[in-house]
Amino acid sequence: MRTTGRYFALTILPMHIDNSRVYNPYIHLQRSKSQRQREPIMKNTILISLSLVAALLSGCATTTAPGVSGVERKQFMMLSEAQVVSMSKESYLATLQEASKKKTLNTNAAQVKRVRDISRKLIRQTSHFRKDALNWQWEVNVEQNDQVNAYCMPGGKIMVYTGLIDKLKATDDELAAVIGHEIAHALREHGRERMSIAYAQQAGLLGLAVLAGSSKNQNAAAIGVQAAALGSTLFFALPNSREQEREADRIGLELSARAGYNPNAAVSLWQKMGQQGGSAPPEFLSTHPSNQNRINELKGMIPAVMPLYQNAGK
């Protein structure tokens, strides 16, 4: 190419042109009306998504020391710890009151003592992950319920169902694995994290719904909202929840080992869980890792925490 004054003299060489990649104003004008109407909605959806990402980046922190388990992921916390603990107390109190009315709360004194003894040993080890945990208002109770389940709400509110003890015939080591796992959720403030994410999602989808409501094409608007909701569920909430479960497995294993409970019990526990039957959803759509994946990961971590178990109480 050579220049002559302000103009260019071009030598045009033969070349293949892919018309599908060339912008054609005529083709652009011929697009369907619905396609053109969807564009502003998609642009606004992107803007809302970017706003949520900015909020995520500004609210990230980690809640626990890494310990041997090495958990140090940054977490999104939109809600304050005080807010979530207050809600947890109210919910836990309501659960206790309901169980008391049904006469299903702490009905077996031996079971209650056993669960509380195990829990106390685990709670004493929580300072390895966060110093303030020893000052939480811990509560430990047992509910007569056939479900194979247990939980620890934010702030240290523990409940163990008798189905977990009776159906699994759980040993002390196995009970420690479950309770340690649930305490780990509280230490990492996974409840607060999930609530914060839910609030962020709600705010984003509410903004999208407002934009959709003002759209002249309600079908296109509905498609935009539904797509955002599905994407937010599959790629935002659920992967984080699976990661939370993995974190609780790792911290829980370390807690139980430090408290003097055999970490190998976590493997036998999940083997028993797998024998309970019922169809498990594919891991991609599950909030929990599959049993076999979970067992493999636990087995991989046991050598790191075994010295803690061997030295416990020495």
Return the active site residues.
Answer: 182
Give the chain's end-to-end CA distance (angstroms, integer).
84
Is the separation of the CB atoms in 162 and 108 below 8 Å?
yes
Burial 145-171 (b: 16+ CB within 10 A, else e): beebebbbbbbbbbbbbbbbbeebebe
**How far is it, in rounded angstroms, from Cα 261 to Cα 127?**
17
Q: Is the Cα torsion angle 35, 38, 40, 44 positive or negative in sign?
A: negative
Read off the DSSP letter of residue 1: -
Closest residue by Cα to residue 115 from 195, 183, 51: 183
Between the alpha carbon of residue 144 and those of residues 4, 10, 106, 141, 292, the distances in Å are 93, 87, 7, 10, 29
Cβ atoms 165, 149 nearer than 8 A: no
The phi-psi region of residue 313 (left if phi > 0; otherwise alpha if psi is between -120 and 50; otherwise beta) is left
